[in-house]
Amino acid sequence: MKETLIELEQFLELREFIPILDARSEGEFEQGHIPGATNLPILNNEERKIVGTIYKQLGNQEAILKGFELVGPRFHAIIQDALILFPEKKIMTYCWRGGMRSEIMSWLLSMAGFQILRLKGGYKTYRTLTYETVRAKRDFIVLGGKTGVGKTVLLHGLKKMGESVIDLEDLAKHKGSSFGGIGQPTQPSIEHFENLLAEEFFKIPISEKIWIENESRRIGKVNLADELYANIIASPLIEIIKSEPERISHIAEEYAVLPQNELLEAVKRLQKKLGGKRTSEALEDIIEHRHSSWIANMLVYYDKTYGYELDSHKRDQTFQLDLTNTDLEESIQHLLAIKNNIQWKTQLSD
């Protein structure tokens, strides 16, 4: 069956109904891919490296010949894998620029009776879109507050109420502190994090106000784009206040159940900042399951860090909201009331 070349807009519309095959190498796929795609390489990591070297040294024709020499014996296996992965025999496919690798994949699977829609411009055109989307100006409402005030819980509550929400920590698979990676899956690359973030932005009209948590520039190993970070720290901030016992209780619910050895390692990573005495006390408290004690110990450090960051970024509009002993439903209503009082400099929908 003959392939059909399609533009990115149509590709994004159809992916809800048609599976996607990424024909690039495993390494390229891991670095960043179109969410939902399945990786079935024409050239694997080592083969791609070999072909690339020959291209640089001997030129395009020799590289093509070497590519077919390497992949030819695997044509049968690729078709078999594709039949298992895509039994309905209809797929969309792409490579880096929408060129030779996806063309070969399209030709090969077409010979096996597949209906192929191939992305014009390949992953590169998708990545250009996500790169620009993440850096575009948006109207954010930023939830701030010291560690343990429950900002993520509030974000989820706002989302249930139909508000537009971006959860950066969930996308980054990290909670943003020395303890933030415990119990989390492997973090995406910065490139793929931006792809995932852009996908969330795709769902939200440009005119919508978006709730987002106040984050550092770095979330674990993921860095926020400079433009996005500048946008966040310039946006209206609602600083959540809760009592220390409530904060300690909230943190204990999340962290006391985590593996003890990983908690100990997280404290050790902070030793230079905590000092020897405070570090020793926290380690002993974790071993003895005195969770309220070691959490209170950590809050001394994290509260100072929060205060420094808050003072470093002065905003035009900052609101303080004391939610001590306030349930989630009432808390959400208070947040929505503040949203209605925010003065926006420009309307992005104009």
SS (HEC) of 197-242:
HHHHHHCCCCCCEEEEECCCCEECCEECCHHHHHHHHHCCEEEEEC
238 shares a domain with 184: yes
Measure the CA–CA gap between 85 and 11, rounded to whole angstroms. 19
We report the CATH number of the domain holding residue 155 as: 3.40.50
| Rounded-to-integer distance, Cα 4 and Cα 340, Å | 49
Report residue 306 as tokens: 């929060």
Pick from 96, 130, 164: which residue ends a domain? 130
| 159 and 197 fall within a common domain | yes
Q: Looking at the domain assignment, is residue 344 inside a domain?
A: no
Do 124 and 150 reside in the same domain of the chain?
no
Residue 320 lies in a domain: yes
| Final residue in a domain of this structure, among 76, 101, 130 | 130
- Could you tell me if 166 and 306 lie in one domain? yes
Active-site positions?
95
In terms of domains, do 110 and 168 share one? no
Q: Which amino acid is at 302?
A: Y
Residue 145 placed within a domain: yes
Task: Flag whether the pTM goes above 0.75.
Answer: yes
Residues 179 and 236 in one domain: yes
pLDDT of the chain along its 350 residues, tens only?
Answer: 678 999 999 999 999 999 999 999 999 999 999 999 999 999 988 888 888 888 788 888 888 788 788 887 789 999 999 999 999 999 999 999 988 899 999 999 999 999 999 999 999 999 999 999 999 999 999 999 999 999 999 999 999 999 999 999 999 999 988 899 998 999 999 999 999 999 999 999 999 999 999 988 999 999 999 999 999 999 999 999 999 999 999 999 999 999 999 999 999 999 998 999 999 999 999 999 999 999 999 999 999 888 877 777 778 899 999 999 999 999 999 999 999 999 887 655 44
How far is residue 258's CA from residue 254's CA, in Å, rounded to a whole number?
A: 8
Residue 19's domain comprises 4-130
* Shared domain check, 260 and 324: yes
Assess whether 117 and 181 both reside in one domain.
Answer: no
44 found inside a domain: yes
- Domain end position, chosen among 130, 159, 185: 130
Q: Are residues 39 and 153 in the same domain?
A: no
Contact 181, 196 (CB under 8 A): no
The residues facing 21 across adjacent strands are 38, 93
